[in-house]
């Protein structure tokens, strides 16, 4: 059974940093592209970033370019999102999702709240 378990969310002040992690199991992680999608409270879904299977290609939504970095460790079956210079508008549940073009499986999400 595919499992994606996010962690690392929490309350952070504007301008602060957080690192989200996603532990993957139940599939061959190294052969899957991976994605982060977020959902602000009461709002719709927004794609944030994705990364190819080997980490060679990374794409970001414009609003996070230069502030967020997606990475992966295939040896540890893990996906990461380093978030710097956080803003109030980054407040959302962040989902780890497998496959970048078809968004196959989703984790339960981790809540990031940016507030002073």
Binding region for other proteins (CB under 8 A): 35, 37, 44-47, 50, 59-62, 95, 100-109
* Smaller CB separation from other proteins, 27 or 47: 47
Structure tokens at 6: 């996010």
* Smaller CB separation from other proteins, 85 or 108: 108
User: Can you spell out the DSSP letters for 34-57?
Assistant: EEEEEE-TTS-EEEEEEE-TTS--
- Residue 103: CB minimum distance to other proteins, A: 6
- Residue 47: CB minimum distance to other proteins, A: 4
């Amino acid at each position: 059974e595919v499992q994606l378990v996010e962690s690392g969310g929490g309350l952070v002040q504007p301008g602060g940093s957080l690192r989200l992690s996603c532990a993957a199991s139940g599939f061959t992680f190294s052969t899957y592209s991976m994605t982060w999608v977020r959902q602000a409270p009461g709002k719709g879904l927004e794609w944030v970033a994705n990364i190819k299977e080997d980490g060679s290609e990374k794409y970001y939504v414009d609003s996070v370019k230069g502030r967020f970095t997606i990475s992966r460790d295939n040896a540890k079956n893990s996906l990461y999102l380093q978030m710097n210079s956080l803003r109030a508008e980054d407040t959302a549940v962040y989902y780890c999702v497998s496959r970048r073009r078809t968004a196959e499986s989703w984790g339960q999400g981790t809540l990031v709240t940016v507030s002073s």
